[in-house]
Amino acid sequence: MKLTKTIFALAWMAASATSVLAIKIVHGPYLQNVYENEATIVWISDKPSVGWVELAPDDGTTFYATRRAQFFDTEIGVKRTSNLHAVRLTGLKAGTNYRYRIYSKEVLSHKGFRVMYGDVAATDVYRKQPLKFRTLDSKKSETNFVMINDIHARKDIIAPMLNAADYKNRDLIFLNGDMISIVNEEKDFFDGFLDECINLFAKEQCMYYVRGNHETRGEFATEFNKYVCPRQSHLYFTMRQGPVYFINLDTGEDKPDDDIEYSGITDYDNYRSEQAEWLKTVKDDPLFQSAKYRIVIAHMPMSHEPGEWHGPRDCADKFFPILNTMGIDVMLCGHLHRDKYYEPSGEANFPIIVNSNNGTLEGETHGNELTLQVRHTDGKVVTKKVYTAKR
């Protein structure tokens, strides 16, 4: 047995050493859209390939104990040949740990019905522990989370901000927009913040990402949905963890669509109208109806305050009338690059907490109390609010 393992290890190392041109996984994997019964895993290989994920229960067995369930990266029934892979894992159990391994098999050519394959790259489950994640659980008694926003490619600040909020012991991590300033190519995502998030947490903890107005800019911006929420039909989404239901909105751009800055390429007024129609359906979700707390996460604070631009005004026009009927406890925003607090008003019957670009918002439930606070990297708490459960 020991000899077999040694031979296997030597073969693995020899293959690694000699295959300098072998296919490699160059970014990721990272987790997207982890809910109670599904999760999506995304990664990039350096050569066109087909991709798949092996999924195993976290039951103490070695990963090699048996053939593991395989989920393929497919599009309309065909394995996708691509450098970018996104595999949706379905049929998962709530509140359950899973282990996984990803694969990319190089596609050398595809002519007619003949496909020629090259080498295979995979994450290591021999010398390392398999990667893990945990599904959401609406029956969990309590939850907590952290949120950062407006990083604008200052990737070196991400670790201090998350560490200040003890992110390794938090249930959920949210990025609330403007993680980069413009997206002209794929490299901008990974260099600006995504590789750093993968190194810190995103291989094993979902990166719940609410788009900001800056991710809408640049020639690669239309590709955003291939990297974030890649197996969903849109970027806005809901989720439930423990007693909290989260409504994650996409507030779009801040200026009018016909502003010179957008060169006639945007259509966010119609996009927000379409999103508002979707928002009206959220109240029908049983997980929404039974949630003790209801939190909205949105990049731009919605408002008609004097001096406010078109985007936040259009959001207020379209989303507030719906949200005001939904028993929302609080809305969490960024965008302003400063801390701000909006009391409930005539236009929104819930408060809005705005987190600055140097603050980490921490949320925790304890029985009938929801505590939210913003902490700067120097440890100073600049905003602290405690809300009592309405339900």
The residue within the footprint of Fe ion, chosen from 28, 51, 212, 252 (CB under 5 A), is 212
Question: Are 226 and 86 spatial neighbours (Cβ–Cβ below 8 Å)?
Answer: yes
Name the residue nearer to Fe ion (CB basis): 89 or 179. Answer: 179
Name the residue nearer to Fe ion (CB basis): 207 or 333. Answer: 333
Question: Are 181 and 152 spatial neighbours (Cβ–Cβ below 8 Å)?
Answer: yes
Selected range binding Fe ion among 111-119, 173-181, 283-291, 317-325, rule: CB under 5 A: 173-181
3-state secondary structure (DSSP) of residue 282: helix
CB of 278 to Fe ion, least distance (A): 22
Q: Does 152 bind Fe ion (CB under 5 A)?
A: no
Question: Are 120 and 106 spatial neighbours (Cβ–Cβ below 8 Å)?
Answer: yes
Structure tokens at 7: 């031979």
Cα 346 from chain centroid?
33
Site track 22-61 with Fe ion (rule: CB under 5 A), x = hit: ----------------------------------------
The owner of tokens 């909105």 is: 249
Site track 304-333 with Fe ion (rule: CB under 5 A), x = hit: ------------------------------
Name the residue nearer to Fe ion (CB basis): 47 or 155. Answer: 155
The residues near 83 (Cβ < 8 Å, ≥ 6 apart) are 44, 45, 46, 47, 48, 49
Q: Which is nearest to 32 in space by CA: 171, 291, 226?
A: 226
CB of 33 to Fe ion, least distance (A): 23
Name the residue nearer to Fe ion (CB basis): 29 or 212. Answer: 212
Selected range binding Fe ion among 29-37, 175-183, 190-198, 244-252, rule: CB under 5 A: 175-183
CB of 360 to Fe ion, least distance (A): 17
The owner of tokens 């892979």 is: 85
CB of 335 to Fe ion, least distance (A): 4
The residue within the footprint of Fe ion, chosen from 106, 178, 253, 257 (CB under 5 A), is 178
Instruction: Measure the CA dihedral 366/370/376/378, to 10°.
Output: -30
Selected range binding Fe ion among 114-122, 171-179, 184-192, 235-243, rule: CB under 5 A: 171-179
CB of 152 to Fe ion, least distance (A): 9
Cα separations in angstroms, 17 against 11, 103, 125, 199, 269: 10, 19, 18, 24, 54
Q: Which DSSP letter does residue 100 get?
A: E
Backbone angles phi, psi at 147, to 5 degrees: -140, 130
CB of 214 to Fe ion, least distance (A): 6
Q: Could you check whether the bond before residue 160 is cis, i.e. omega within 30 degrees of 0? A: no
**Beta-bridge mates of residue 53:** 71, 102
Cα separations in angstroms, 381 against 345, 358, 384: 25, 12, 7
Name the residue nearer to Fe ion (CB basis): 49 or 248. Answer: 248
The residue within the footprint of Fe ion, chosen from 335, 358, 362, 374 (CB under 5 A), is 335
Q: Does 213 bind Fe ion (CB under 5 A)?
A: yes
Judged by CB under 5 A, the number of residues near Fe ion is 4
CB of 354 to Fe ion, least distance (A): 11
Site track 127-146 with Fe ion (rule: CB under 5 A), x = hit: --------------------
CB of 208 to Fe ion, least distance (A): 18
Structure tokens at 360: 């980490």
| β-strand pairing of 97-111 with 114-122 | antiparallel
**How many CB atoms neighbour CB 274 within 10 A?**
14
Selected range binding Fe ion among 73-81, 140-148, 213-221, 355-363, rule: CB under 5 A: 213-221
Q: Does 250 bind Fe ion (CB under 5 A)?
A: no
Site for Fe ion in 215-234 (CB under 5 A): none
Selected range binding Fe ion among 91-99, 170-178, 238-246, 255-263, rule: CB under 5 A: 170-178
CB of 254 to Fe ion, least distance (A): 7
CB of 148 to Fe ion, least distance (A): 13
Q: Which is nearest to 53 in space by CA: 91, 96, 98, 100?
A: 100
Residue 323 carries which side chain, given as an amino acid letter?
L
Residues of the shown chain interacting with Fe ion in the complex, contacts defined by CB under 5 A: 178, 212-213, 335
